[in-house]
Amino acid sequence: MRDHVKGGALTEVTFYILLSLYSPRHGYAIMQFIEEETGGRLSLGAGTLYGALNTLQEKGFIAPCDDRGKRKREYIITAEGKEIAEKEMARLKALIEIAEKIIGGVL
């Protein structure tokens, strides 16, 4: 995972994972969310997803939910993860504003 949080940029996949976890989800549901929200443009394999989940958990951006009685482990975004996602959204909005000025608003 090559996220540059200090520089304010997340990979697209990381951003989608964080967005997916505003509601508790297990791994397969995260993969489905990303595929549906991107119209199939992004599709994650299990190895990629679980590697990213481990990294995000180590960074404190997500946490496992209390999974008592549940077969599949679910994750949820943390307060720190929400802060990172909000910063990424602001960065992307600024990028779009600059692009619209340069391109002339033709998108």
Domain 12-101 sits in CATH 1.10.10.10:
yes
Tens of pLDDT, residue by residue over 59-100, are 999 999 976 666 788 999 999 999 999 999 999 999 999 999
Q: What is the mean predicted confidence (pLDDT) over 5-31?
A: 90
Asked whether the predicted pLDDT for residue 103 surpasses 70, the reply is: yes
Asked if 65 and 76 touch (Cβ cutoff 8 Å), the reply is yes
Tens of pLDDT, residue by residue over 23-57, are 999 999 999 999 999 999 999 999 999 999 999 99
* 75 or 7, greater pLDDT: 75
pTM exceeds cut of 0.75: yes
